[in-house]
């Protein structure tokens, strides 16, 4: 599903070129549950941004579902991202002035422009899946961290993405809530064959994934499949 060919990312820091990702070659298959791990500054979030169509590589090619996303212009890239990819962030990134229901609905209006009946059907199903039906009229500041992350997961899934990228999704959660969130994402992966790719330091996630990719200084130094 995802193929990275000799991908590098260089940032300009004044007169210095900072090579954050170095000649990355990586393939991820449909339905994998993958953790990208490594020390802070190893390039985990940069890799997520590149294969998540939020940034473009300086060198190399990235294919998602046989589409070379490095050839897409900004508009085409945004459309491709909206149709194929969901994101779950450490800081939740919910819109504070929108209710739970409206936060989940937002990408369906802004990205996919679905009819109201179809939007309502999808949102209510996901609210039930993440156990937030009784909270749908509340606003983000009325929710606990675990509840906000559940809403963020529902928002990421409402467009029926093929891939979900999660950047430290449990970092702000207690152990019990973290375990519930990981179980929820695993259940979704198994039910819908959704590909999940995590950038994480959290051992609880690392212990649950099928594959662990280790980055150090922008290079893959380990790639192993583990028993699920």
**pLDDT tens readout for residues 19-49:** 899 999 999 999 999 999 999 889 998 999 9
Cβ-contact 92, 40 below 8 angstroms: no
pLDDT averaged over consecutive 10-residue blocks of the chain (228 residues)? 92 87 93 93 91 91 93 89 87 91 90 83 90 93 90 88 90 83 88 91 91 94 85
Q: Which fold has domain 2-225?
A: Rossmann fold (3.40.50)
- pLDDT recorded at residue 221: 94
Query: How far, in Å, CA of 165 to CA of 167, rounded?
Result: 7
Query: How far, in Å, CA of 36 to CA of 112, rounded?
Result: 29
Distances (CA, A) of 27 to 6, 24, 76, 154, 210: 11, 10, 23, 27, 14
Helix (H) or strand (E) holding 185: helix 175-192
Residue 98 gets which letter from DSSP? S
Query: How far, in Å, CA of 99 to CA of 94, rounded?
Result: 9
Cβ-contact 7, 59 below 8 angstroms: yes
- pLDDT recorded at residue 228: 60
Task: Provide the whole-model pTM.
Answer: 0.87
Burial class (CB in 10 A: 0-12, 13-18, 19+), 192: middle
């Amino acid at each position: 599903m995802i193929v990275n060919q000799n991908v590098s990312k260089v940032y300009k820091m004044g007169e210095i070129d900072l090579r954050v990702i170095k000649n990355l070659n990586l393939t991820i298959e449909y339905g994998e549950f993958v953790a990208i791990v490594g020390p802070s500054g190893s390039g985990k979030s940069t890799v997520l941004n590149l294969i998540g169509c939020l940034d473009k590589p300086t060198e190399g090619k990235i294919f998602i579902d046989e589409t070379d996303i490095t050839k897409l212009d900004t508009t085409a890239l945004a459309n491709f991202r909206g149709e194929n990819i969901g994101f779950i962030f450490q800081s939740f990134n919910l819109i504070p002035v929108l209710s739970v229901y409206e936060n989940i609905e937002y990408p369906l209006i802004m990205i996919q422009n679905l009819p109201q009946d179809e939007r309502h059907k999808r949102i209510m199903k996901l609210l039930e899946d993440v156990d937030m039906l009784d909270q749908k009229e509340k606003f983000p500041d009325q929710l606990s961290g675990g509840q906000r992350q559940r809403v963020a997961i529902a928002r990421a899934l409402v467009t029926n993405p093929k891939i979900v990228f999660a950047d430290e999704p449990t970092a702000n959660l207690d152990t019990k809530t973290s375990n519930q969130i990981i179980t929820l994402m695993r259940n979704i992966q198994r039910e819908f064959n959704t590909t999940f790719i995590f950038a994480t330091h959290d051992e609880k996630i690392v212990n649950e994934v099928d594959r662990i990719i280790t980055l150090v200084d922008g290079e893959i130094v380990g790639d192993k499949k583990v028993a699920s």
